[in-house]
Structure 1
Amino acid sequence: MKKPLSTISTASLWLLCTVTGAAHAETLRIASEGAYPPFNYVDSTNTLHGFDIDIANALCERMKVTCTFVTQDWEGMIPALLAKKYDAIVASMNVTEERKKKISFTNRYYRTPLSVAVANDSGIRDAQTDFKGLTVGAQSYSTQAIYAEERYGAAGATVKLYPSQDEAASNLAAGRLDGVIADKYPLLAWVESAGKDCCKILGDIDGTNTDAAIAVRQEDVALRERLNRALDEIVADGTYKKIASRYFAFDIY
């Protein structure tokens, strides 16, 4: 026989709500691209790895929640976040004023300038002025693409955009591009992995240092604050430095 609702104690109702709320809060759904080594990439089982993923796991551990990860094409990252397919993006997303009109960002978890890679035998010497009449590649829907179109395209270069940074880099290696513009650290990692006979970095582009941060929905203020507290903690106690040292021999914070 069912008991009337009035016979259930206030304490029992509170406990039920608390348990239900805690269960809901224990999982944080995180998206990453899986095509941006060494920050995020997938193995043969489609499992995500990389600096972004290690940072996300450290934050979840500090927040005492369980991370679940999904891969998402770069173009659909922000729309899927807004559609609540996941709770946060940890994918080396640069903070821009245009993106802040739609989503919110945590404090940075690293900072990077833009750089350009060219073939070893290229006559290009200046990343900012020498691309007139040549072809530059970049990843679509990225800050690099915006820079390439506004700077190189306006100066007479042809700009080709690709779904992923890997595709742009592969086209440079195949000789179909004269240069690729990207954030410095993934571009540096790619040049090193491509072999000594392939390509070289021209250098940082002045004035392009940008923060990379975790993206959340604008209304998720509490989540953003929790992530910021966790970021502060892992930086303060050395966890961040330990993770970064697995991937970089220099400071990226």
Structure 2
Amino acid sequence: MKKILATAAMALAFGIASLAAAGAEPVKVGFSPEAYPPFYSADASGNWTGWEVEIAHAICAEAKFECELTPIPWDGLIPALTTKKIDAIMNSMSITEERKKTIDFSDKYYNTPTAIVGPKSEKFGATPEDLKGKIIGVQVSTTHSAYAKKHFTEAAEIKEYQTQDEANQDLAAGRIDATQADSIALDAFLKSEQGAACCDLKGHVAEDLEILGPGVGAGVRKEDTEFKEKINAAIKAIRANGKYEEITKKYFDFDIFGS
């Protein structure tokens, strides 16, 4: 799940009730300002679009709050939340027990498999044995980094990148042997001109709920319980009223919500 100046951040309708009172400043919702299609993409004018942006709009509208989408480097999102530089995170952040030691999460709003992609010229799968001796690229401070370090202990190297796009570029250039990320994000890469030319899907990794978690939710501070309840209610409402399905059909031909 992820570069544009802060002045390009768009206004969303989403926030904490106590901060949304008359005259209050917009609530800041953090995201990593990097291309992460189809969840986040910047158009020629610097406006952010994509499935997750539209879902955020829908949650905002349902909750009747305002906020400002605020760009923060991925590995700085949780620190920015806990120090109150932002008020929420909506950026394909998986709900994990490790993260819940520091922050809380809303209910999930999507859940998809984790994939391994590698060069078309090589035949291997997504198991630890398949990846033995290989250089695997992952985005820093992600569940994928944690998973690779735990399960792919016999890899030649777990190479970390600030963005998934950088990992994809190194894979296409032959500087790494494989990359692990969300299956939908990697599918978008494989459908790009560069990805289609170089690489293919090797498989999905074995489940590890402790690391990968049950899905993606909105990150919130532990003390903001009323805020979390309002987000949960909005997620439930857009699932029930058809808005979630309406948005999802624009990007996917399957139910991204998962089981």
State TM-score, norm by structure 1. Answer: 0.86
Aligned to 2:111: 111
In 1, the alpha carbon distance for the partners of 2:83 and 2:221 equals 10
Gaps of at least 5 residues in structure 1 are 1-19
Aligned to 1:140: 140
Residue 220, structure 1, aligned to residue 224, structure 2: yes
Aligned to 1:238: 242
Question: Among residues 217, 238, 253, which one is paired with 1:249 in the alignment?
Answer: 253
In 2, the alpha carbon distance for the partners of 1:146 and 1:221 equals 28
Post-superposition offset of 1:132: 1.5
Post-superposition offset of 1:22: 2.2
**CA RMSD of the aligned region, Å?**
1.8
Residue 90, structure 1, aligned to residue 94, structure 2: no
Q: Name the amino acid aligned to 1:29.
A: K
Question: Which protein has the larger Cα radius of gyration, Structure 1 or Structure 2?
Answer: 1
Higher strand share: 1
In 2, the alpha carbon distance for the partners of 1:201 and 1:29 equals 36
In 2, the alpha carbon distance for the partners of 1:178 and 1:156 equals 10
Q: In structure 2, the residue corresponding to 1:112 is in which secondary structure?
A: coil
Aligned to 1:158: 157
Post-superposition offset of 1:78: 0.2
Residue by residue, what CA displacement relative to the aligned partner does 1:76-135 show, whole Å, maximum 9, x if unpaired? 000001111121100000011010011010000000221100011113234442121110
Post-superposition offset of 1:24: 5.0
In 1, the alpha carbon distance for the partners of 2:49 and 2:252 equals 15
Aligned to 1:170: 169
Residue by residue, what CA displacement relative to the aligned partner does 1:129-176 show, whole Å, maximum 9, x if unpaired? 212111000000000001111111x12431100001111111101111
In 1, the alpha carbon distance for the partners of 2:207 and 2:139 equals 20
In structure 2, do the counterparts of structure 1 residues 78 and 68 end up closer, same or farther at CA, with 3 Å as the change threshold?
A: same
Higher helix share: 1
Instruction: Give the ranges of 4+ consecutive aligned residues of structure 1 lying more than 6 Å apart after TM superposition.
Output: none
Residue by residue, what CA displacement relative to the aligned partner does 1:188-235 show, whole Å, maximum 9, x if unpaired? 111111353211111221214640000000010000000000000000
Q: In structure 1, the residue corresponding to 2:215 is in which secondary structure?
A: strand
Residue by residue, what CA displacement relative to the aligned partner does 1:13-70 show, whole Å, maximum 9, x if unpaired? xxxxxxx962256833211113222112323443322212111111111111223111
Contact 1:135 1:157 in 2 (8 A): yes
Contact 1:55 1:243 in 2 (8 A): yes
Q: In structure 2, the residue corresponding to 1:244 is in which secondary structure?
A: helix
In structure 2, do the counterparts of structure 1 residues 132 and 219 end up closer, same or farther at CA, with 3 Å as the change threshold?
A: same
In 2, the alpha carbon distance for the partners of 1:27 and 1:220 equals 16
Residue 78, structure 1, aligned to residue 74, structure 2: no
Contact 1:145 1:161 in 2 (8 A): yes
In 2, the alpha carbon distance for the partners of 1:203 and 1:116 equals 6
Taking the TM superposition and a 5 Å limit, the aligned residue runs for 1:44-59 are: 44-59=44-59
Identity, in percent, stands at: 38
Taking the TM superposition and a 5 Å limit, the aligned residue runs for 1:18-29 are: 22-24=21-23, 27-29=26-28
Q: Name the amino acid aligned to 2:240.
A: A
Aligned residues: 233
In 2, the alpha carbon distance for the partners of 1:73 and 1:133 equals 31
Contact 1:139 1:145 in 2 (8 A): yes
